[in-house]
Amino acid sequence: MKIAVVGITGMVGQVVLEVLKELKFPVTELIPVASERSLGKSISWDGQSIPVKSMQEAIDARPQIAIFSAGGGTSLEWAPKFAEVGCFVVDNSSAWRMDANIPLIVPEINIHTVTKDTKIIANPNCSTIQMVMVLNPLHQKYKINRLVISTYQSFTGTGMKAVKQYNSEKNGEPVEEPRAYHHPIFENCIPQCDTFLDNGYTKEEMKLVNETKKILGDQSLKITSTAVRVPVHGGHSESVNVEFFNPFDLTELKDILNQSEGIIVQDNPTEFEYPTPLQSKNKNEVFVGRIRRDESKDNALNLWITADNLRKGAATNAVQIAHYLRRFF
């Protein structure tokens, strides 16, 4: 298949290339796309050196699927133009996620909502994806009433600017301006992911609220969140407190998670078996552990969830969607 990867020189774009190879996606022609400043560069793919193309050049090449990882503004401008020539667009930005006419897809949960007429498909926020992977089978069985979420998110989720800031601080070098974070990220935790809104929450925190409701198809869910940026390379972690309407048996609940696609349960704390972000690095699955009752509340549960934010949180999820789209050709 003829595949365009938009934003190919960025962190997620590079991981998309890795995942396409690992999941053996049948790419017959790769169209690497990046901003004007990257034109003239080349991408190594399958033993070839392929020149980076502009947006219009990519559209003129008529790809069947385009995976976008180039930011919301770029997606809003260009995704409809790719769609106009019959190309499916899988978009990693936040631009389309809350559009009522655009499906917000985690393949293990709601890929069935995508049809051959769905030309733009939104990839959810990285921290949302890993959480709903674990919550969805439990919601189906026990019906979630309320979520209290605390995230511990890798600075890699902010992109190359954050990686450069971290490395400069670690090496005692001047930080290039404008910096990714107002505060140091090396040896620090920053209780701010994205910008603040009028309600005192950040955009990242409200993504967890709104995207979870849309993906799980339940606007009645009560959700509150705090998102924290941490000096971790490996991936994102989340402490999630879940209150169900219905009682649950802990053994049965763990069995449900063990049998769910894309989830690995690591829950034997006496043997120090629980997920860590470093252990999840470069893996496509979502890991869950520290599964225990909340003894302060009826029908409540505590979970610890980790995943590679550049993999299942972005590139892997997008490529899985692209795999599904193959059936329409």
Residues annotated as catalytic are 126, 236
The residues near 79 (Cβ < 8 Å, ≥ 6 apart) are 66, 68, 89, 91, 95, 96, 120
Structure tokens at 45: 């793919």
SS3 sequence of 140-167: HHHCEEEEEEEEEEEHHHHCHHHHHHHH
Question: What would the DSSP string read from start to end of 76-110?
Answer: HHHHHHHHHTT-EEEE-SSTTTT-TTS-B--HHHH
Q: What is the DSSP letter of 124?
A: P
Cα end-to-end distance, the chain, whole Å: 9
| Bridge partners for 50 per DSSP | 43
Residue 326 is inside which H or E element, if any? none
Q: Name the 3-class secondary structure at 300.
A: strand
In what helix (H) or strand (E) does residue 50 lie, and over which residues does it extend?
A: strand 48-51
Q: What contacts 42, CB < 8 A, 6 or more positions away?
A: 49, 50, 51, 52
Phi, psi of 38 (to 5 degrees): -95, -5
Q: Are 5 and 67 spatial neighbours (Cβ–Cβ below 8 Å)?
A: yes
